[in-house]
Amino acid sequence: MIAWVGVITALFAATIAMAQTDIKKVLAYSTVSQLGYMFLAVGVGGYWVAIFHMITHAFFKALLFLGAGSVIHGMDDEQDMRRMGALRKAMPITAGAFIVGWLAISGVPPFSGFWSKDEILTYALHQNVALYLVGLFTALLTAFYMSRQVFLVFYGGERWNNPIEPSTHEAHSDAEVAVDPEAPAEGGPASAAVTVDEGEHHDVHPHESPWTMWVPLVVLAVFAAIAGFINLPFANSTKWLENWLEPVTGRYGAVVDYSNGTIILLLTISTIVALTGIGVAYLVYRRKKLPADVFEQPIFLHGWYYDWAVTAFMAVPVASRPTRWRGSTARSSTARSTASGRWLATRAASSAAPRRVWCAPTRSR
């Protein structure tokens, strides 16, 4: 169960990252996806592998987030990737470091993420072929959405001062919102789309960040490139991290003992998958051979409408909900809020030390 929760989380977050336009949101959902990989490792008994991926992820994800911060700084606080492009010329050090992080998380050898992610997939294959295939497909998506980010930010034409052109999906969503501004409360996910800001946008002149920002990037880039060498799968003498953690994790973990030929085959498959993801992103965002809308689906852009669903259920007034929800929801919401108020009041009265307790007012619905 833990393994399936992990791999589904990895896949779920990876699909959302494919359509985000904010440079930090891509990395945020990517982090959720990589945490899913770690739970996949735990679920199949690869406890030391989860720690291995946590170590490599710490380096390349810190590098990517700090790199994104450097880009935002150099772009005068701009975070929308649609207003970037060609930044490798204006910010060469940031671009070079960010590209190392990109190759590491995409699983390209010999960068660190390649070794730890492949170990996770190897343990998943030993446990369940379906887990392995889902994890492998998620690795393909990871290489795709991270390549998308790099191509939009550091390559292509200069879009620094261009107005944002909404995609077909966004234009359709904007039209729906324009018809009924109150639609998010009543209409459902289709009408909860994010509109495109076409307001004033000052001229941007990208520039490299100061040394206090790019020196940490360079240090992290070095470790993101070589951290995977702390555990190589070819011989027991090169499995330094696994051997070091063996007294703690070896007693309870799964035992996976594939031949070197099988290991090389699995490494080759992982490499092909990573390069395929990068290649598809190259065709979409550099060569324009494939339409981006095919991959940037509205359901991905809006996070499978999970946040909308939670907000609609927990925060939207009952009067704005569909009629079939109102009766039972009003009674249960009133009961919950009344019980919560009573509990807080009881806790405040029974406390020995005087203190102020804030109680949320009960709303009649």
Instruction: Flag whether 249 is in a domain.
Output: yes
For residue 184, what are its two tokens?
């998010």
In the predicted model, is pLDDT for residue 251 greater than 90?
no
Residue 31: which residues within 8 A CB-CB, separation 6 or more?
Answer: 61
Instruction: Flag whether 142 is in a domain.
Output: yes
Instruction: Flag whether 261 is in a domain.
Output: yes
* Higher pLDDT, residue 214 or 333: 214
How many distinct structural domains can be found in the chain? Answer: 1
Element (H, E) at 4: helix 2-17
pLDDT for 202 equals 65
Instruction: Flag whether 127 is in a domain.
Output: yes
Query: Where in the sequence is the domain holding 60, given as residue range(s)?
Result: 2-163+201-285
Instruction: Flag whether 75 is in a domain.
Output: yes
**Max Cα distance, the chain (Å):** 70
Q: Which of 238, 260, 263, 241 is nearest to 250 (CA)?
A: 241
User: For 63-114, what is each residue's pLDDT tens digit?
Assistant: 999 999 999 999 999 999 999 999 999 999 999 999 999 999 999 999 999 9
Measured in degrees and rounded to the nearest 5, phi and psi for residue 309 equal -65, -45
Q: What percent of the chain has pLDDT over 90?
A: 69
pLDDT for 144 equals 98
Please give the average per-residue pLDDT across 300-329, as a whole number.
72
